[in-house]
Amino acid sequence: MSEHITHNAEQTEQIGADLGSRLKPGDFIALFGTMGTGKTTFINGVARGMGIVDAVSSPTFALIHEYAGNIPLYHFDMYRINSWDDLYSTGYFDYCESKGVIAVEWSENIEMALPPEFIKVELFAGQGFEERRILITEGNKFENTCC
């Protein structure tokens, strides 16, 4: 597990870029953290670290954004997901077998559908307006999962 304290959005993005630069096809990043803690900012860095040039924006309305690269990135926002039907309708399960990287904001809402192994990224508000605490845990294993 690694812990990072950041003091502005650029630092959070850089932590994401460091992770992105060492991802492999099929890696799954589950992000946890409440509104405005920096999940989209972090994924923007992941994309940069993966060599993707498109700017990442929040998929809150589209629910999924795809970014082409050497390894493609599939970016989900599960903020509005609160049932299995909702989750199926995003196409989430079709992506689980893919050789891309999947990054999921609001993983709290789909905990029952996370894959057996994933990289957990937890973001917390810190002191003041711009401080964030980021915990990264790799190799999480869940039993009885279905992605």
Binding site for Mg ion (CB under 5 A): 39-40, 58, 105
Which residue lies nearer to Mg ion by CB, 11 or 40?
A: 40
Handedness of CA 86, 91, 94, 99 (dihedral sign): negative
Number of residues that bind ligand ATP (CB under 6 A): 18
Q: In the β-sheet with 28-32, what is the strand arrangement from edge to edge? A: 2-6, 132-141, 117-125, 28-32, 101-105, 73-77, 64-67
Q: Does the footprint of ligand ATP cover residue 107 (CB under 6 A)?
A: no
- Measured from each CB, the residue nearest to ligand ATP is 38
Kindly give the interhelix angle for 39-49 and 9-20, rounded to the nearest 10 degrees: 40
Alpha-carbon gap, residue 78 to 109, rounded angstroms: 6
Residue selected from 16, 20, 38, 100 as contacting ligand ATP according to rule CB under 6 A: 38
Could you say which of ligand ATP, Mg ion, none residue 37 binds, taking C-beta under 5 to 8 angstroms by partner kind?
ligand ATP
Would you tell me which residues interact with ligand ATP (CB under 6 A)?
A: 6-9, 11-12, 33, 35-41, 58, 105, 130, 132
